[in-house]
Structure 1
Amino acid sequence: MNLFKRAWWRLRGHLGKTVMLVGLFFVICTLVLSGFLIRSAAARAADSAKGKVGVVATMQLDVDALINSGGGSASNGAQPGTIGSKGDLHSKLVDKICKSSVAARCNYTVDSGAAPTRRLKLHQPVPAPAGQDTTGTDLFKASGVRDLGSVKEFHNGDSKIVSGSGLNRDSKSDMIVIEERVAKDNRLKVGDTIELRVGEIDPEKGGMSTEEVEFTIGGIYENGTVDTGSYVPAVADPSNQIYVTPEGATRLQGKEPADGGATLRQATFTLRNPDDLGKLKDDAKAAGADLKIFPISVNDKQYKTLAGPINKTADFASLTVWLVAVAGTVILALIIASNMRERRKELGILLSLGEKKPKLLGQHLVEVVACAVLAIGFAAAGSQFIAQGIGDQLLSSQVSSAEDSAAGQGTQKDPSDPNGLKKQDTPRSKPIDSMDIELGAGDIGAVGATGLGIAALATIVPGTRILRLNPRDILTKGD
């Protein structure tokens, strides 16, 4: 008799056991498919985060390495540490490294200050309280940038150019971009020439430097932060933020750009792939960089902040898939073994009538596979909604845990500061807190293969006992 007909009659004749097998397979396949869907959605979200923030490699001075090489002096308590010319990272060297094929973007900033002059005064709608010393705060905050468009405030839309143009690598060294409130207060427009005083203390005179640097206004920008109506130190007021070229910022430090260009504190390179760090280091060495004094390290804090919780959710989903698959196989194998024990008489009669042992095993396999196929269809219909709910709950828990952990972490010392006073910036990005579950043919194929694999293992492993039996043993020895 055809084994497929026998399997069909068996499934119809024992509907209770058929429904039980279908239900068990439905639970297994639903959990497995949900795990696949959560893992796929998490991978897509993580890849999207990586594409948005990239992986940033930072090149900056390692003061300890510089001191060990004899290029600087450490702080001894009485005198602060000093950095010699060997500790200067120059823009022309970084420009060479920026040409590396693995660097998607490159930027560097020179932080400086500038004192107001007769031609350019600070924007300060509310004066300082009477008697307050504002010598160290009545300054413009000057940033020397390679590309103004890559500065966070301009990149995220908080600031925008309203007249002229922004700074780029081809800008003239004396170009400056000022905020429109400063421009209105001083009646300035694009193309005007202004002077700023060096924002450093003159060690010989014991006071602020009187040296002036000339700039030409190339652009005027608007900052979205409005005046508060109360006193704010000028250097902390966003309207007094000015942007110049790295060379211009170097001059505002009281220095002249060396043959190697502006002196930088650090440079950043956005890599196309985290694995490209080695290639970037090789290109930096080829450009002439000393990576012992100016090491390059990957700062993937922002990516980890964004994708950390969702990656942990994906790991948990993967673990769930394996646990459910293994546990499901074991449970099904025990159920099928028990079912075969109950059907010993049926098997003995079929064997005595001349039925081949492999066909008996095949009949059981067809029965289980039929139940599995039905369950896979039901699971495919409802798993997307179940996976969305489970995934959102798991992700919410991981995000909450990540935020609690981040709140308990302090800032870290900046290795470019010999006195340990500067702190490294911490990422302000919020973790990914949602995922988009999408059911595709690949996911159905994966759970189908998993379900059928479980069915085959759960049937074949206990079914091998059939191949060792003969009709006499089955019919005379009972259980």
Structure 2
Amino acid sequence: MDFKQRALKSITRRKGKSLILFFVVFILGNVIAGAVAIQQSTVNVEKETKRSMGAVTSVQMDYEAYDKKMSNVSEEEMMNMAYPQPPKAKVYREIGDLSYVKRYDLFLTTGTGTVKLKSATDDNVGYGGTPYMFNIKGFNQKEFLDVTEGLVKITQGEGFTDNDIKNGTNAAIISLDVAEANSLSVGDSFVLDATNQVMDDSVEAQSSESGELPQPKTVSFDFPMKVSGIFTVVKKDPDAQQSQEQAAENQWRALEQLNTIYTTEGAARDLSKKLGEAYSSGTDAPLEDMEDNYQATYVLNSPDDIEAFREDANALLPEYYQVIASSDQYDQVAGGLNKLNTISKYVVIVAVIATLLILSLVVLLFMRDRKHELGIYLSFGESRGKVITQIVLELLMISSIALVLSLITGNFLGGAISQSLIQSDWISNSSQEGMVYYGNNLMQNNLSFMDIQQAYKVTFSIGYIVTYLLVGVGTVLLSAVLPLLYILRLNPKKIMM
């Protein structure tokens, strides 16, 4: 009789032992399948969520690393240490030349308080106690990322022209709210009355001698500009599940966006220079290096390029500066889901080890009971290879049915357990710590743990099926190693005696 027929006959003839082997593989297979389903689902929701968050990156100081370094430094050493300097424009351009970058914006940023030019709301307190505050962003190209990436939309006017960018004119794109507050239209000229308060060294010295508190002096100058466009902020649907802190931060960012004036790089440089001169008047402080006011936002070719881009870009950045990405918020919000992913990996490892041990012992005990049967096969001239193949075939036939069934039941088991864990406090609460601050509105995502909970689903994905079957079949085959060694040591002469 052919060894394949013998394998089938052996399974049907030993129904009891075949059922025992089936249930052992089925039960352990459910544990492995459930853990694999959870692990694959957490990976899938991470990929899809990060992909929907986009591949926008920027550069930010690593305050945590700097504070950690300073905690180990004496006061004397700290006094002699210079504060970390931000990257220069040259470095930002070098990063922008990396192959992962689809496009980037290099812009000059500054800000000023005003008295006459009204901001979007009356309760917007400006710099140094001035009534209003504005952020200024100067670009060196007419199509800047805030527009192309859908953060704002120019609803009136054409925006910047090639001539504006080339000559650095004082063209300005303002929000509709600011335009209405100041009765401005496209083509109108207006004055940015930059007003700030600074400390005069001589006044400060006199105050220290008299014991009185020093009083700042107000410095102001007019910076003429012309409205070349009016924008509106593209509003996102509010998240009903967001916390009060998140809602307050989103409201503040929306107000900050409304009070942003977009202009050319040349105009921003002129304004920064005048602000530096105004701040330095009456003091010994040096003029601010405008190179320190540059920032950059990078849009990558794909979210999959973020980590490679981060590694190459960080190598170009000065100490204590690092690349942050829009998708980094996921790692902060989804801390509980990441914990669930880690647990599922450990469960898979433990379940595979347990399956190897238990299945090896069960099959070995069955082989000992079949010692005389195997001895007869060998004594009749059957090769050990065919005997081994018969045993492996029996094991695979029984295990395959158990693995396929546990593929289905384990998926439902993993879904039920993971949904229960996600809704528990020890998972959801862990996601509220260590939120990242993003200084760039373009990178801001209203992502909450509730969004991740809703996106999390355990399904019969191709990745789940392939991963489970590879792990399951591989474990079954490895568990056959010990019994096969037993067969190789069989001596048919001694058995038949």
Secondary structure (helix, strand or coil) at the match of 1:379 reads: helix
What amino acid sits opposite 1:58 in the alignment?
Answer: V
Matched, 1:243 2:236: no
Q: 1:475 to 1:123 in 2, by over 3 A?
A: closer
> What residue number does 1:6 align with?
6
Matched, 1:340 2:367: yes
Paired with 1:367 and 1:18, the residues of 2 have a C-alpha distance of: 9
State whether residues 110 and 263 of structure 1, in contact with CA within 8 Å, keep that contact through their aligned partners in structure 2: no
Superimposed CA distance per residue, residues 351-376 of structure 1 (whole angstroms, 9 cap, x where no aligned partner): 55554444433332222111012123
Secondary structure (helix, strand or coil) at the match of 1:140 reads: strand
Aligned counterpart in structure 1 of residue 306 of structure 2, from 269, 273, 296: 273
What amino acid sits opposite 1:44 in the alignment?
Answer: N
Paired with 2:390 and 2:490, the residues of 1 have a C-alpha distance of: 16
Matched, 1:175 2:171: yes
Secondary structure (helix, strand or coil) at the match of 1:469 reads: coil
> What residue number does 1:139 align with?
132
Q: 1:243 to 1:168 in 2, by over 3 A?
A: farther
> What residue number does 1:229 align with?
none
- Higher helix content, 1 or 2: 2
Secondary structure (helix, strand or coil) at the match of 1:189 reads: coil
Secondary structure (helix, strand or coil) at the match of 1:222 reads: strand
Superimposed CA distance per residue, residues 300-334 of structure 1 (whole angstroms, 9 cap, x where no aligned partner): 54353256544443333333322222211110111
State whether residues 335 and 431 of structure 2, in contact with CA within 8 Å, keep that contact through their aligned partners in structure 1: no
Superimposed CA distance per residue, residues 106-157 of structure 1 (whole angstroms, 9 cap, x where no aligned partner): 454613123133xx445556899xxxx9971402322325489645x99676
State whether residues 178 and 259 of structure 2, in contact with CA within 8 Å, keep that contact through their aligned partners in structure 1: no
State whether residues 199 and 252 of structure 1, in contact with CA within 8 Å, keep that contact through their aligned partners in structure 2: no
Q: 1:94 to 1:467 in 2, by over 3 A?
A: closer
Q: 1:219 to 1:334 in 2, by over 3 A?
A: same
Q: 1:248 to 1:467 in 2, by over 3 A?
A: same
Structure-to-structure mapping, 1:377-456, within 5 angstroms: 377-393=404-420, 395=422, 399-406=427-434, 429-431=447-449, 432-433=452-453, 434-441=455-462, 443-456=464-477
Superimposed CA distance per residue, residues 243-294 of structure 1 (whole angstroms, 9 cap, x where no aligned partner): 1335545555534899x97751644545633233454367x6xxxxxx55x7
Paired with 2:138 and 2:416, the residues of 1 have a C-alpha distance of: 46
Q: 1:405 to 1:196 in 2, by over 3 A?
A: closer
Aligned counterpart in structure 2 of residue 264 of structure 1, from 293, 300, 312: 293
Paired with 2:347 and 2:229, the residues of 1 have a C-alpha distance of: 57
> What residue number does 2:110 align with?
111
Q: 1:390 to 1:134 in 2, by over 3 A?
A: closer
What amino acid sits opposite 2:366 in the alignment?
Answer: N
- TM-score relative to the length of structure 1: 0.70
What amino acid sits opposite 1:103 in the alignment?
Answer: V
Aligned counterpart in structure 2 of residue 304 of structure 1, from 311, 315, 331: 331
Q: 1:164 to 1:263 in 2, by over 3 A?
A: farther
> What residue number does 2:156 align with?
163
Gapped runs of 5+ residues in structure 1?
66-73, 226-233, 285-290, 415-424
Paired with 1:49 and 1:340, the residues of 2 have a C-alpha distance of: 51
State whether residues 179 and 241 of structure 1, in contact with CA within 8 Å, keep that contact through their aligned partners in structure 2: yes
Deviation at 1:12, TM superposition (A): 1.7
> What residue number does 2:28 align with?
28
What amino acid sits opposite 1:400 in the alignment?
Answer: S
Matched, 1:366 2:393: yes
> What residue number does 1:186 align with?
182
> What residue number does 2:402 align with?
375
Secondary structure (helix, strand or coil) at the match of 1:448 reads: helix
- TM-score relative to the length of structure 2: 0.68
Q: 1:100 to 1:295 in 2, by over 3 A?
A: farther
Paired with 1:455 and 1:75, the residues of 2 have a C-alpha distance of: 65
Structure-to-structure mapping, 1:13-52, within 5 angstroms: 13-51=13-51, 52=53
> What residue number does 1:417 align with?
none
Paired with 2:54 and 2:34, the residues of 1 have a C-alpha distance of: 28
Q: 1:5 to 1:256 in 2, by over 3 A?
A: same
Aligned counterpart in structure 2 of residue 102 of structure 1, from 95, 100, 103: 100
What amino acid sits opposite 1:111 in the alignment?
Answer: T
Secondary structure (helix, strand or coil) at the match of 2:134 reads: strand
> What residue number does 2:197 align with?
201
Number of residue pairs aligned between Structure 1 and Structure 2: 426
Paired with 2:19 and 2:404, the residues of 1 have a C-alpha distance of: 14
Paired with 2:381 and 2:256, the residues of 1 have a C-alpha distance of: 93
RMSD between superposed Cα atoms in Å: 4.9
Superimposed CA distance per residue, residues 57-93 of structure 1 (whole angstroms, 9 cap, x where no aligned partner): 526699x99xxxxxxxx9999x9x999xx96866576
Superimposed CA distance per residue, residues 132-191 of structure 1 (whole angstroms, 9 cap, x where no aligned partner): x9971402322325489645x99676x544323567997554122333233224322111
Secondary structure (helix, strand or coil) at the match of 1:187 reads: coil
State whether residues 34 and 410 of structure 2, in contact with CA within 8 Å, keep that contact through their aligned partners in structure 1: yes
Gapped runs of 5+ residues in structure 2?
67-74, 204-215, 237-251, 278-286
Q: 1:208 to 1:155 in 2, by over 3 A?
A: farther
Paired with 2:427 and 2:231, the residues of 1 have a C-alpha distance of: 37
State whether residues 114 and 196 of structure 1, in contact with CA within 8 Å, keep that contact through their aligned partners in structure 2: no
**Identical amino acids, percent of aligned pairs:** 21
Q: 1:149 to 1:379 in 2, by over 3 A?
A: farther
State whether residues 61 and 87 of structure 1, in contact with CA within 8 Å, keep that contact through their aligned partners in structure 2: no
What amino acid sits opposite 1:102 in the alignment?
Answer: Y
